[in-house]
Structure 1
Amino acid sequence: MSITQMLRAQGLDRVQGRVLVVVAGILWSLAGVFIKLLALHPLTIVFYRSLFAALFFSLFIRRQRWTLSLPLFASMASYTAAISSFVWANKLTTAANAIILQYTAPIFVFVFVRLLFREPIKRLDLTTLLFGMIGLAIIFSGNRGGADAEGVMVALLSGFLFSLYMVNLRFLRRLSPAFLTFMNNLACSLILLAVVKSLHLSWREAVALLIMGVVQLGIPYFLFSKGLETIPVQEASLIVLIEPVLNPAWVALAVGEIPSQATFVGGGFIVGSLAVRYLWLALHRPIPPKAPRGPSY
């Protein structure tokens, strides 16, 4: 079968959707390189990245009715804490440890959903949880002592906090994702404004942080959202797992940082278990019945 025939068989829209999600994953994976190359305090990086991202999203959000609520406050707080701990972890340990442990968030979600909403953990999710715990144990065993151990703990904290953010989204479904992302980044920059000690930037640092806010965070959000219009979320979640693979690869090329063997093995368990889960869900996704065709005139 030729490439043209394959595209027609799968539907050009679906292929374009996959390409958009791939590009989004690639752009998201650049975070580690920027964080490593910028000689700035982690909270300074988070402040400017969120500020520029909020300005970017403000150009596209639609006016909608909203009120300050406990779930919205929880979203702002958990988002700010999660991305701050992620950037901080990148300064303390390898980019591989930081991004892989951030991807433990879906594993924590399984537990929280069970505890908070009394929803049963499916066998597939339980298997993912068990293999994820094995991966965590391997990473911790290979990163004991020194700043690396502290960085691993902070990175795991970022995964935990992101899981809280993800679970809290259940209470904010009436808000558009773009509006919520704008509010979270705006709140993050305002919160950190009172914490950041120095706001001074060189022009190169300002350009790099602008790129982080717009190109590395803002644009891929829209690409991913557009891709979800033509491909299922399970498939998109599987594709975007290129982020924890590419992130440490870019850092290795840029600054020569090589992850430990324990990170390779443990990360394989975590990312691999998530990949198997999303692949299983994508392959076993129920096919909606076709609408009956009416008479052609």
Structure 2
Amino acid sequence: MEEIARCTGVTRTFRGAIAVDSVDLTLDPGEIVALLGPNGAGKSTLLDMLLGLRDPTAGTVRVFGMPPTARRARARVGAMLQDTTGPVGLTVAETVRLTQHLYPVNTPMAELLALVELAAKADRRVGELSGGERGRLSLALALAGAPELLVLDEPTAAMDVAGRRRLLRAIRELAGQNRAIVLATHDLREAQAVADRVVVLHHGRKIADAPTRDIVRRVDVSTVRFTTGASMDWIASVPGVTQVSRLHDDRFELLATDVEGLLRTLFTAGHHLTELTVADADLESAFVALTREDAA
């Protein structure tokens, strides 16, 4: 099956400062890749090079085996960027129809507007839309050409909970049609729910690239919450507790590498626990640990 995209040793500098540093990245059909990293990590710059909006200072980018600026490559790519907007004087339907004409293959209008919940706004001018509605229109425009590579930058930021869930299901369906999807997001729970693979950037370098479940497993720590009369200093001294904070009154939140040992120590010391919850490591704790490890 044809490889969707490949970045090889991609570097980008701005006035001598390195924004992306020798990054390798491959995208295959049918996979969803979450691109994570703190502000300034190089995520947007990498996406811009993947889309042909910026040229790499060094290294190569290929999309469907071609430079990303090639007309045949662009015809197979859709992108939703945070700064995208439509002509304010056109209606929603006119804007979508105009975008569809730019591609040899189209996603049906009714399907697009239903997906982004703008069917009732089809005749509304773009300039009259709310900020959230404009965001959903940007997603419709990204999907207008039935892309095989879809680049999404914070796609659910303007959606409510129900709309977000519907969109995430739609993303999974699109990936099931052998499309490759790159999802840049700050919502780490969202990435964990939908992504097959996670790529983490830090200071322009790729510090992790693995299946989502493997990234989470790299952090051998659990989040423990309970209410107890024990002091915060005493809890912090228990072996295996790496971090402790007071939520309110006698309720605490801990990061612990040995939950069973922690509970055994508390019970042996005669401390009574209520409202106990234990959560395994999630993508957020993995991300924090990875960037902290890289900084060290």
TM-score, length basis structure 2: 0.24
Rg (Cα) greater in structure? 2
TM-score, length basis structure 1: 0.24
Structure richer in strand, relative to its length: 2
Which of 1 and 2 has higher RCO (CA within 8 Å, sep 6+)? 1
Structure richer in helix, relative to its length: 1
